[in-house]
Structure 1
Amino acid sequence: MATELLYKQPKTLLNKGTGFLSGYSHSLNPYTGCSFACSYCYVRQMPVSIFRKEDWGTWVDIKQGAAELLRKELLRAKAKGPVTIFMSSSTDPYQPVEYKEQVTRSLLEVMVQEQPDFLLLQTRSPLVRRDMDLLKELGDHVRVSMTVETDLDVIRKRFTPAAPPIGARLKTLELLKEAGIPTQVAIAPVLPSSPAFPEKLKEVVDRVCVDDYFMGDGSGGKRTRNLGIYSLYEESKLQEWYDPSAWRIVYERMKSVFSENGLYVSQEGFEP
């Protein structure tokens, strides 16, 4: 399905960090909308999606002039105190449109020149490897958080068919590690996975954050329930994985491989 691309002129880019992101001074979204269209995405239940006529995943708003606007806002914000940025909270900064538009890259170029105190770059896309030159310049001021919800691509295809393959994400993490760029894996949300999952992750990262619908969708799981996600678990006969305690299955497996200071749960794992 083709994605409708719309060009917009935003008035602001940096938004105050609130709720789940209250540890950050700001959140930053290079795009509005996301063509990865993950079935469980909590943004589907937010106004940015609800008040659009088109289905979530079928449209993307491209923010024109974003770099110039960020430069101005970043300078103002830095004059007031520490600046910590979460990019992105309601879109993927490396969704397919970024190949051509390079809005995210332009924002990173600004942040290299006017460095924030910390940037968490949240994505599920191997495209992030394209910007390793800029990420290396940010040094310890950045962490790439790669979503890897499962190690089973058959599960990925069931829940997020338009998202990048798991193997490509793991390879990207390997390349980032070799380049000395700080990284983590976000198992967010927790999807059904195999007992071998921890060992696969240990090869490419030293830090993992486990999060689920009930802790991470901002409504105690209500937004996710409203999406009817449970039916996907029923069809796959995996109902036990749709439970507020299911994250512990993965967490306990990860504990056997990752050290205490390399394993986090929900919000604490995304903090600056």
Structure 2
Amino acid sequence: MKSEIFYKNPKSILNKGTGFLSGYTHSLNPYTGCSFSCSYCYVRQMPVSLFREGGQWGSWVDVKNGAADILKKEIVKAKKKGSVTIFMSSSTDPYQPIEHKETVTRSILEVLVETPPDFLLVQTRSPLVCRDIDLLQQLREKVRVSMTIETDSEIIRKYFSPEAPPIQARIKALQILADAGIPTQVAIAPLLPSGEYFPHKLKPIVNRICIDDFFLGDGSGGKRTKKIGIDKKFIELGLEEWYSTCAYKIVYKRFKEVFNEDQIYLSQAGFEP
């Protein structure tokens, strides 16, 4: 799906961390909308999507003009009030395809290198994050890149998120980040059907795993995801058992056999600063 691009002039760029992100002082979204258009994305059921005229989720992306200049002012004010922890991003992917051209996310990182927050979590599923290793390295222990890898199956990935980067490309990106000394984690979020060797594929390159599902992590106990109709996609695949409140236990058990228990986090705890 090709996304229509719009240019907006926001008045602010930092939002107060609330709800699932209450552990952060702020969230930051370089864009509104996301061309990865994952079928299960809970943002489909949020006002930013529901009340958008002209186009379904994934068919449009708003580029935030002047985001870096706005951030320069806002972060200075925020730091005067105390600790600043930022989650980037909560309702878009900061490294979706348009970032190649617009570089809004890179401009934001340049500001954060000059005026570092106490902690920055970069949540993405895109190997494009590797482009900014030079900036991420300067943030040192104050940053963590959380790479979404919901499954180890390309068949499953293509069924649920055909516009998103291939699984192997994400694993390769993690290796590049690790080799560069960037703190990383894998976010198995939302949890999709995977194989028993999934943990073994990740063990050589990462030492922190966050497991989250549709029920713990969509901010509504699974109600938003239910409205999207994701349960029907599992039924179509004959994998109904993976769409349940207990499915995460299967994956957690597999990972506990390969990773130390203190390296595995569940839902909100895995995204905390």
Distance in 1, matches of 2:2 and 2:238, equals: 32
Identity of aligned residues (%): 67
Which residue is 1:11 aligned to?
11
Q: Equivalent residue for 2:47?
A: 47
Structure 2 residues without counterparts, runs of 5 or longer: none
Q: TM-score, normalised by structure 1?
A: 0.99
- Residue 211 (structure 1) aligns with: 212
Structure 1 stretches of 4+ moved >2 Å: none
Match of 2:191, SS state, is coil
1:107 aligns with 2:108: yes
SS state at 2:37 partner:
coil
What is the alpha-carbon distance in structure 2 between the residues aligned to residue 57 and residue 4 of structure 1? 9
Distance (Å, rounded) in 1 between the aligned partners of 2:229 and 2:97: 26
Distance 1:2 1:23 in 2: 35
Aligned equivalents of 1:107 and 1:50: distance in 2?
27
One-letter amino acid of the counterpart of residue 11, structure 1: K
- What are the superposed Cα offsets for residues 56-88 of structure 1, whole Å, 9 maximum, x if unpaired? 000000000000000100000001100000000
- Secondary structure of 2:219's counterpart equals coil
Where do 5+ consecutive residues of structure 1 fail to align? none
1:128-175 deviation per Cα after TM superposition (whole angstroms, max 9, x unaligned): 000000000000000000000000010000000000000000000000
Equivalent residues in 2 for 1:1-272, closer than 5 Å: 1-53=1-53, 54-272=55-273
Secondary structure at the aligned position of 1:186 is classed as strand
Quote the RMSD (CA, aligned, Å).
0.5
Q: How many residues align?
A: 272
Return the TM-score normalized by structure 2: 0.99
Residues 193-219 of structure 1: CA distance to partner in whole angstroms, max 9, x if unpaired? 000000001121000000000000000
Helix, strand or coil: the match of 1:226? Answer: helix
Shift, 1:261, TM fit: 1.9
Q: Counterpart amino acid of 2:5?
A: L
SS in 2 for 1:116: coil
Task: Decide whether the 8 Å contact of 2:2 with 2:35 is kept in 1.
Answer: no
